[in-house]
Structure 1
């Protein structure tokens, strides 16, 4: 079977009419999930490292549970199990059900991965650093803020960026619950103009360009961190 590509399908009007709004949502979802995931993930990491035994176990069960199931399954669970009436309490109401589900689901899911990155980063700092902080009379919070985290973040940032690349790719999964992300924009354009092959080909190119640029940035950060060390 020979596929004849119609290159006239590719135009700025196509991107502006169908794709830009989806791209904006994909970027917003990536940013919100990254910030929320890091904050929640940091709490999970601290709970596992220095929390009470019961809290550490709960955090471990959460992290291992989230990391053991596909992201798509978590997205569908939240979307289907949360009562529609809940969304009436939020701005935009039921019309933005898919978007709200995507935000909450990705924060909850990515927190498990960001939490492991934070835990590994903290564990990479030698115990002598923490002992030195305690010897100076620092509290646990001060020790983490001024001694541990500044050293751990330098190690974690490149890994964070790598996880963000994966996160951006995974935003295409919200297509399953009807959210209008970048992939949905390309799919809609291809359907409206009866050119699905061209639409999905262009979507792959755009994903590649964005993710390749981010991966190059991650490599540069890795090189800088290596030099600092």
Structure 2
């Protein structure tokens, strides 16, 4: 389990470049949405909506893992099979981050239907007037369709335990935190590094390798 948590954290860290491309604009927009009277508390507010986002990841991870645990118990789906699915998605994620095969973009479209219903609610919390509204806005943002999130959710699925699934997504979210937090505060040099093609391709190769390793270990 500790290896799964560490792996989830590393996946979030390596996938940060993708996070910046997909969500960097949102991060900047959320920062500019902070009310003027909260400018001195900007760091706390920014951290608040990122923690809200990570909280949503944990909830989704728990729901997915609970579903897979019921399937494993009632239908008899072997855990090795679920681990294999997780490995395959890691490979797809590596190909996606390296921009060599974009199949995960098709999976991202599956979440757009739900996001169409959630996105209008975000307007209720803009401009951000207090820490509570920042956390709520981040929690809604956590449901934004993302291939990186969906790939990591297969790890939660393979855990077949609600608590473990929540922890896996928690550590994944913490892995994405350094990049998105700094981008939210306007640190452009971090954005340039993580968005660089060399970093992205190195991360892609590491994820590809780990995906293959996961499949081998499953059997």
TM-score range, shorter chain: 0.3 to 0.5
Structure with greater contact order relative to length (CA < 8 Å, sep ≥ 6):
2
Give the TM-score taking structure 2 as reference length. Answer: 0.40
Which structure's CA Rg is the greater one? 1
